[in-house]
Amino acid sequence: MKELAIEDEGDEDGAFAVRDSSVPVHEDPQVEEPKTIATQEPVGNGAETDATATTSFVAADKFSVKESSGAAVVDIHDEARRSPSLVTSSLRSRGDAGDIEASEGRMLRDKQPTAAVTLGPAALNGSRRYVVDGLISDIKCKILSALVHVAGERGDGYHRNVNPHTEAEEFFGLTLSRTGLADMLRLVLRVTSVAKQNIEQHFELQRPLYFSFTHLVCRTAKPGPYLQHINGVPVEYYDTRPPGDLSHVVHVDNCILYGPGECLQRPPAYTFRDYSAILYLNDDFEGGEFVFTDDPQAKAVQSSVTPKCGRMVAFSAGPENPHGVKAVRRGSRCALALWFTHDAKHRDKDRILAETLLNKIKLGEIKVK
């Protein structure tokens, strides 16, 4: 299938850690030549008007773009066209659809909760890390969780490997370019902008901060038996989850972690990442705690964060903040994973395209078919 995406370079809780002499591999989608729309779009921070870059739309899984009587037309594929109604159906089945206009698949505006920092560096036993609660409302959490279950891709970001971290969990992900209809895309952009603003204010950043990658993800516990790997070789089946098995290995987001105090800042690590954040969407599962630790087995941890709707853990992406995720023992753990950079060259191209698309739809320059 053709993609709107330019890059697909992330996973939920970070990038690289050495395990079994290998580094997690991320999918690099095939990029097609730009199809019909080329426009000058702002690039920058805040209002993002300090520079410009040429952006082009390409055909995608969710969108087809073509010229019609001088105006571009976006033809939404059937699967994406159904996604709002499928999300609504999913919410309604759980009794959560009261704030959704089912007829048009649009979210009614709900009140923004009051966000408050609940844990700082001292409580988290480290530096340049914090936890904020109440960043988004319950209904937004429910919509985003339902969206990734409805429209997410199995193994997204890992060459469609649905078990990239452990045989005991399935991984589903959704990037901006695959989000589908404008209402859902608009919601993701709005929520992530709130997260970015909170990080900028909390760390009192004086330099421009840009989105580097955005990933809506769910990790779902699988029933046994489980196959254990040693040095990449399958060796034994377990009826219960292997002791010490993690949902995500201990790692650092912008360097390759070899051990306590040893982190090599070079490719294939995403060395341009400066800040990271995980915005949680649910708590109806067991396990899945986020931990700050430099212990590869995560037996000794500096601090632990229990996910719940609207809670975000944010931190600088360097070797001062190694982290991992405890095993998800039951249910599905969903989150919006965000990475940021001070380097404008590594701005999230998917986001530029998404913002451009929504702006052109609003101005009537693009019609949705």
**Highest CATH level, class, for 38-368:** mainly beta
CB atoms within 10 A of CB 304: 14
pLDDT at position 244 is 78
For CA atoms 194, 342, 288, 92, the dihedral sign is positive
* Percent over 90 (pLDDT), the chain: 44
Task: Say what the pTM is.
Answer: 0.74
Answer whether 310's CB lies under 8 Å from 135's CB. yes
pLDDT per residue as tens digits for the range 297-322: 899 999 999 999 999 999 999 999 99
pLDDT at position 101 is 44
At 246, phi and psi to the nearest 5? -110, 155
Length of the chain: 369
pLDDT per residue as tens digits for the range 33-76: 333 333 333 233 332 222 222 233 333 444 444 444 444 444 44
Q: In this structure, what is the dihedral angle of CA atoms 77, 192, 303, 14, given to the nearest 10 degrees?
A: 50
Which residue ranges make up each domain of the chain?
Answer: 38-368
pLDDT at position 110 is 64
CB atoms within 10 A of CB 141: 25
Cβ-Cβ contacts under 8 Å for 354 (sequence gap 6 or more):
176, 177, 179, 185, 189
At 4, phi and psi to the nearest 5? -80, -25
* Percent over 70 (pLDDT), the chain: 62
Q: Which residues pair with 184 in a beta bridge?
A: none
pLDDT per residue as tens digits for the range 71-108: 444 444 444 444 555 555 655 555 554 444 433 344 44
CB atoms within 10 A of CB 119: 17
172 has a pLDDT exceeding 90: no
Lowest pLDDT segment from 50-64, 183-197, 201-215, 234-248: 50-64
pLDDT at position 233 is 67
92 is catalytic: no
Active-site choice (129, 186, 273, 333): 333
